[in-house]
Each structure stands twice: as structure tokens, then as C-alpha cells.
Amino acid sequence: MTVTAGILGATGAVGQRLIQLLEPHPDFELAALTASNASAGHPYRDVAKWRIDAPIPESVAETTVRRTEPDAVPDDIDLLFSSLPSSVGERVEPAFCEAGYVVSSNSSNHRTAPDVPLTIPEVNPDHLGVLEVQQDERGWDGALVKNPNCSTITMVPTLAALDSFGLERVTVSTLQAVSGAGYSGVSSMEIIDNAIPHIGGEERKMEQEACKLLGTFDGAEIDWHGVDVAASCNRIPTLDGHLENVWADTRESITPADARAAMQSYSSIDLYSSPDPLIHVFDDEPDRPQPRLDRLRGDGMAVTAGGFQETTDGVQYNCLAHNTIRGAAGASVLNGELLHKQGWL
């Protein structure tokens, strides 16, 4: 069955990536694009400052952009992908869910709400079960699903692979690409020949979201993982691809060889956008992964890991993912595929 889909916030950086991923997708048919009131009523090509290194797909170029309100979107849309700013999403997304729409969202609002699944399909697909609680408690005919922050998505699959060794503490320092801040997020005068050792709110997102993602769902609620996560987030002058240095302390003894083997064998999932392998591991190249060389592995949906070293209490390694594909638009699409597979649409 083809899923009729729409995009909330279609003109921004993540919205453009969503169009790029959904337009050729075999299971989704794009039928609605929304944006701000200033853009509504105009053809998409006239209001989108297209930044993807490919032409605007002709199938959407002349599509009239709609207002981002439930009464402006067709009733027969099966699934909405949201890339709205969180300040807008916090208000608008529940209104769409109340109106009966299922929303797969990249926005940061509601990610830690007890009844909102925060999902990486290869890590915690069972967490979608909390949607039954969400619909009962909120009285929604629709549903709201979140994907995590782009830096969290990079790290958590590698932690999930190591969890059998008993994760106790994780310390992470990120080197995040400028595209993660959006088109107007960091000026060239700030970032060229520079690094910015602070990204507002990012550390807290990583520390909370990792624990929720690695938690267990008992059929009624999500019990967060007890791992202690400490993050330091830094912006550097790469275009795409978040690189992260991770220190993982475990209860059981673990060697670099153990960590590599666990990540190499970590399972993908039978969904169209999930790469196989999910985690590409470098064995003998201590200077990998690197953003320019490795961000597009698995069509931008794979996580790469390397530089494994033994520490006093566990292992240290580096990991990388494409922040606007795996870390944002691709993650929402993958959640949409999971919703479809599990019968929520």
C-alpha cells in the first residue's frame, strides 16, 4: 500500500532533505507541503531557498505550499513528516494529532514526554507501543513519534551494541557540522578558522535522549536506562557529518576487539531506509571515520566507528553520522517506515 505523505516545514534545511528522500521512495507519495504563512499560496520553487546539491524535483517544484494548520492539509494524508522549529512544533504538532494525523517529527519538543515514543528503529522499535497510552491519555485519533537529536542518533546505536557489557557511564565530546545549525545558524565570520565550544541545549538533549532510547518498554511505560551520560558539544567548520569522541565505561571487562565485534554484528532492521550494516567499523585505520570521507556511507544512513582504544574502565572510540540525513530527515523517514510496518497508518 502506498502511503500518502506530507511535510510540515518543507522549505527549511531538513524539509528539503525530506523531499530529497521521499520523492523517489517506493512506499511514500508526497501530496502536501506546508510552510509559514508568508510562503503559503506560492509554488514551492519560488519560496524554497534550495541548498541540496541536486535540482528541486520537478514533481514538487510547482506544488502550491499550504499553511501549517490542520484545516489546510487534506484529510486523506496518511502520514505527516515534521521539520518545524520546536517552538512552532510544540503548539502545532499536537493540533495535527488531535485532528487525526500521524506525525513523524524531527523537532525537539515532546521528545522526553513519557507517552511520546523517541525512536531509532534499529535500537528500540518496541517503544512505538507507547502510542496506545498516548492516544488513550490525550484522546487523539492521530499520533506523535519523535526521532532524536542528530548528535544523539550518531552515538546511541554504538552504545546499544555495547549495552550487553553493562554500560555504566558515557562521556562524549562532539565535533558538529555547521549544517546542524540550519542555513542561518552560524555565520561564516564566526566559524571559519574557528571552533565554538558550546551549542545551546545540545548537551542536555544527548544526556537525556540516550537514556530514554536505551530504556525498556514494559507495555505501559518506558523505563529509562540508568547509564550516566555527560556530553560536551562543539561546532566546527565542516559542512555535514557529526564526529564524536566517546568514552564508554562498562561493568564487565571489554577490549577494543570486543567493542569492534559487537558493533560489526549489531543488527539492522528490515526497512527500506535502514542500511546493512548499520554500523561500519574500521579495524586498522585509527584516523577514521572522517566527515568528508565517511558521512555518505549507506546513502548517509550508516553510522561509522573507529579509533578503538582500551581505557581503565572500558573503551574509547570515535563515531560519525550524516547529521541532516541519518541525524534528521532520514531518521524521520525511517520512523515513518516503522509506523507503516507496524500498522499505525
242 is catalytic: yes
211 is catalytic: no
Provide the greatest CA pair distance for the chain.
60
Catalytic residue, chosen from 97, 110, 127, 150, is: 150
Sign of torsion over alpha carbons 267, 272, 276, 281: negative
Grid coordinates representing 137? 491519555
Catalytic residue, chosen from 242, 280, 322, 340, is: 242
Q: Who's near 33: CB < 8 A, 6+ residues apart? A: 6, 7, 10, 15, 19, 44, 60, 63, 65, 66
Sign of torsion over alpha carbons 281, 285, 287, 292: negative
Using an 8 Å Cβ cutoff, are 9 and 83 in contact?
Answer: yes
Closest among 235, 242, 260 to 317, alpha carbons compared: 260
Alpha helices by DSSP H, the chain: 13-22, 44-47, 58-61, 86-98, 131-138, 150-162, 188-191, 202-213, 256-264, 291-294, 330-341
User: Looking at the chain, how many residues does it have?
Assistant: 345
Active-site residue set: 150, 242
